[in-house]
Amino acid sequence: MAPYATEESTGRRGKAVRYAVPVAVVGVAAATIGLVPALADSGDPSLPKVTAQELIEKIAKSDTEQLSGTIKIHTDLGLPSLGGAASSLGGVGGQGKGGSSADPKEKLTELASGTHTLRVAADGADRQKLSILDSAAEYSVIHNGSDVWAYDSRSNEAYHATGKDQKAGKKAAPEGVPATPKELTDQILKASGDSTSFSVDGTAQIAGRDAYRLQIKPKQSGSTVGAITVSVDAKTGTPLKFTLTPASGGAAVVDAGFTSVDFGKPAASTFDFKPSKGTKVTEAGDLKAQDHGAAREDLKGAEGLDGLSGLNTIGKGWTSIAQLKMPKEAGGLASGATSGNMPADAQKFLNSLGDRVTGKFGSGTVYSTRLVNVLITQDGTVYAGAVTKDALVKAADAS
């Protein structure tokens, strides 16, 4: 079950993107690998023996369309807190001009760090709901037929998109933001190939249900991924828990799993939403028009997003590395110089991640997390991947 949202333009933050390419690359790379407190398994049920291939086929054949439940999701990339830099990097959470705090594209990025409790429900392809819960507020994305609503109780703002937005080329599902164990597992299995080993690592009980544990490991050296363990419901084949541990050891980088789950049909009222009187409603089409205007202003006299050269991929499998060229305006990041246009909090954050390196390519800076590493050379070339620092330097030397 995927959350739904329109892909509205982020052009109004063109300048912020130029400042924060390392942050953006880390975020995108982390999302493509997966999102997400370690959830306690209870007991090791006795189940019929299965092979890894049979278990993979069981996941592929899973046709679960109706369910509801609660998911705990935790992500620990080892990043320092953004602090005041969050607001400096372009108006997160609707604080930028023309934005909305209920915009799913903004809100769902919160799942990329920390611990969150989600409530999910699905009834076929046309009805899904995802809610992010905290102690003082709730944020929900509801897809019901041709309507997509998002509501932020903290700000009392709503975001609305219809089938017309989709026909205009605006997708309803935010790709790269997986929020359930199945979505995480599907991404990993889709990307797996000859460079991956699979094995069955016993059984477990998740959310009161018997499950097999499928273990996925890279065969290649140089990856920062140690292993991924997926707990698969023995009856339905639905992934119930997803855990990614780093090659360096320690706590999981991503851990997402159901604490309760019901495969019955959710009540139809689960997917009903009508904004109450006083709720500020932002229509997707109106926001799109505003963003286009802001983007044109931001890009006047600057390269903006167009300054990023085409993306190349070096290698394959778990050690693949993304290579791209930064705009000239961002060159100070690679050399370690302080940009006069960069907010002080953003510069402090980037410096805290940096590690100077040299090679045949010249010099550059590696920005590191527990999973994703990014090298920016002095000439503004970016190398990023779930690989070691040495692997990035080697790739830069060979380019």
pLDDT tens digits for range 275-317: 999 999 999 887 655 554 444 444 343 344 344 556 899 998 8
**pLDDT band, residue 319 (cuts 50/70/90):** very high
Confidence (pLDDT) at 157? 95
pLDDT digits (tens, 9 = 90+) for 116-164: 999 999 999 899 999 999 888 999 999 999 999 999 999 999 999 987 5
Average pLDDT over the chain reads 77
The model's pLDDT over 22-60, given as tens digits with 9 standing for 90+, comes to: 333 333 333 333 333 333 345 689 999 999 999 999 998
pLDDT of residue 6: 40
Reported as a single tens digit per residue, the pLDDT across 341-372 is 566 676 666 666 688 899 999 999 999 889 99
This prediction has a pTM of 0.74
pLDDT at 195: 87
Residue with the larger pLDDT of the pair 160 and 86: 160
Show the 3-state SS of the chain: CCCCCCCCCCHHHHHHHHHCHHHHHHHHHHHHHCCCCCCCCCCCCCCCCCCHHHHHHHHHHCCCCEEEEEEEEEECCCCCCCCCHHHHCCCHHHCCCCCCCCCHHHHHHHHHCEEEEEEEEEECCCEEEEEEECCCCEEEEEEECCEEEEEECCCCEEEEECHHHHHCCCCCCCCCCCCCHHHHHHHHHHHCCCCEEEEEEEEEEECCEEEEEEEEEECCCCECEEEEEEEEECCCCCEEEEEEEECCCCCCCEEEEEEEEECCCCCHHHHCCCCCCCCEEEEHHHHHHHHHHHHHHHCCCCCHHHHCCCCEEECCHHHCEEEEECCHHHHHHHHCCCCCCCCHHHHHHHHHHEEEEEECCEEEEEEECCCCEEEEECCCEEEEECECHHHHHHHHHHC
